[in-house]
Structure 1
Amino acid sequence: MTAFTFSQLRAALNGISGILVTPFDDQDQIAPRKLAPIVDRAVDAGVHCLVVNGNTSEFYGLSPEEAVSMAHAATELVGGRAPVLGGVGRDIGQACRLARESARAGASGLMVHQLPDPFVAPRGVVEYVKRVGDASGGLPIVLYLRNEGIGLAAIEALCRLPGVVGIKWASPTPLLMGEAMRRCADLDLAWVCGLAEIWAPPLYAMGARGFTSGLINVKPAHSVAIHQALEAADYPRARVLIEQMRAFESLRAEEQNGCNVSVVKAALQLLGQDCGAPRPPAAWPLTEASAQALRQLLAGWRD
């Protein structure tokens, strides 16, 4: 299996970080082999980096053992054709164990989920990420920042931890991201749009490069075309391409984003690549109106 260097991963983060679904069988057991055609399609389309145990992977719906199994299985399926980030999180013990297992699996780096704990001290987050990094044996770290409420001082402290290579900025606050970038301008960090294709243009305007994507499970070539337009600073072309997939993202945002994974998995079913139902608390099945809208959308994509 190909090993990617720190600099190669850093470069890949300027591209598309594709968040892989977690397939289940009809008994609600993980079925990693069902991921093979999705991985192949994404790699063949040119997706730059793949992520296992992310939010589109239903990370918080997986048991610790399932998350470990998926880290190994997904990395094996990618087979060194692209860097793989292994998502880690939850309590510090589980996060450190999953960091160790992701390293054993051959992941190129870690994506550290932001803590959902109701009692989170900003300096405690810094210690959490430091311990996770130590447990991995020194794998590069991408910080997944969904809530900038920990403050710019804590964000800067996180960015200055050894091994941190990038920040997945998943907050619709481009100006605040710009200030965080200014504070860390002496560091060669990847600032990645963590809100997928739709938010990529405004975050690009503030200096971010690359974006995360759940669309890559269904139509990776479209994500790659958007990335190519953004990299060429062809914003009119990027807007046209984003508008073509906006309806898909709008469906995912229904029910307080509870359809985020549901729409991706429903689309895969319609494409003949059934990855099972998402687990509660995701919305499933789709409402008839949403299911019909999705069928019409996919039919248009195939035209």
Structure 2
Amino acid sequence: MTRRLQDALAGVSGILATPFDATGAIAPERQMSIVERAIAAGVQILTANGNTGEFYGLTVEEAEAMVAAAGAHVDGRVPLVAGVGRGIRDACRLAKASAAAGAEALMIHQPPDPFVAPRGLSDYVSAVADAGGGLPLILYLRNDQIGTDAIAALCALPGVVGVKWATPNPMKLKAAMAAAPEHVVWVGGLAEVWAPVFYAVGARGFTSGLINVWPERSVAISAALEAGDWDRAQALIADMQVFEDIRAEDQGGANVSGVKTALRMMGEDCGAARPPAAWPLTDPQVDRLRKFMMDNGLLRQAGEKGTRE
């Protein structure tokens, strides 16, 4: 792992939204403004084809197109991480496409297959590593029920340099960190709200969907955590809590919808969130989101667009 990648993982890992046009087709050019805003604000690393990017709602061809577009938008200014996953052949195909697009690391989505064996996961990760041509690997862990031993074994595989921990179990995270190789970087995978909890047990950095809308706040939270200023970090998080609360509603189905509705309010229409997401947001959700946006100066008053049409 390069020093550039290691340092970036300890900061804000921004998860890019995937824009669609009015017909529902991907509209990669609409992502450019999101990338520019994030980089200008100091976001340290960007991820294409993450869950905020509706990875599971995209075809393989669309995911290939989006990582290619993100690579062009980012243009090497910060490290680009590319999400890969689904069936093993799709994951390997995406790994090759991501390497060609200029990704500096691959984020392997934990397979949602109902019949997953720990040793099968090892084979899966190893196959993706081969397809990626030696790119560093970041494991995206959303289910810690595979156990500490299995997690440690995955972390010991060649090429694995990081884990994005996305389960609300900090003590299991602590146990996994103690059991895994020391070189692995552990990143909080539940965004800003959970970042202080994960930092408290030794994680560094966090993922963020907020960066699509308000990257300055994400960067400020990261800086406070890195400085050990817990009071400031908590105060900054409290001011953006409603955004994450809305995204967590509908059993998490409002996650992408909250981001895309906020972008539309800002005059950057990135289309609808694809089913099975909760789209559109309900009127009360829209009202709360608009108040949040106005309170924090995020709306371009003259360009604000409706969100209920």
> So what's the TM-score if we normalise by structure 2?
0.95
Q: Residue 213 of structure 2 is aligned with which of 204, 212, 218?
A: 218
Which residue is equivalent to 1:301?
296
Which residue is equivalent to 2:29?
33
Aligned-pair identity in percent equals 58
1:188 positional shift: 1.1
Q: Distance in 1 between matches of 2:147 and 2:279?
A: 36
Which residue is equivalent to 1:95?
91
1:144-203 per-position Cα deviation (integer Å, ceiling 9, x unaligned): 00000111111011100111110000011111111111112x421110000000000011
Greater than 6 Å deviation, 4+ residue runs: none
Aligned-residue Cα RMSD (Å) equals 0.9
Which residue is equivalent to 1:258?
253
Q: Residue 177 of structure 1 is aligned with which of 173, 177, 180?
A: 173
5+ residue gaps, structure 1: none
| Kept in 1: contact 2:149–2:179 (CA 8 A) | no
| Kept in 1: contact 2:79–2:104 (CA 8 A) | yes
Where 1:27 maps in the other structure, the secondary structure is coil
Q: Residue 282 of structure 1 is aligned with which of 263, 272, 277?
A: 277
Q: Distance in 1 between matches of 2:11 and 2:43?
A: 7
Which residue is equivalent to 2:140?
144
Q: How does 1:162-201 map to 2 (within 5 A)?
A: 162-184=158-180, 186-201=181-196
Q: Distance in 1 between matches of 2:278 and 2:195?
A: 26
1:131 positional shift: 0.3
Q: Distance in 2 between matches of 1:46 and 1:128?
A: 34
Q: Distance in 2 between matches of 1:132 and 1:183?
A: 23
In structure 2, give the amino acid aligned to 1:182.
A
Structure 2 residue 54 is matched with structure 1 residue 63: no
Q: Distance in 2 between matches of 1:8 and 1:232?
A: 20
Where 1:282 maps in the other structure, the secondary structure is coil
Where 1:85 maps in the other structure, the secondary structure is strand
Which residue is equivalent to 2:302?
none
Where 1:54 maps in the other structure, the secondary structure is coil
1:7 positional shift: 2.5
Which residue is equivalent to 1:205?
200
| Kept in 2: contact 1:170–1:195 (CA 8 A) | yes
Which residue is equivalent to 1:109?
105
Q: Residue 15 of structure 1 is aligned with which of 11, 15, 19?
A: 11
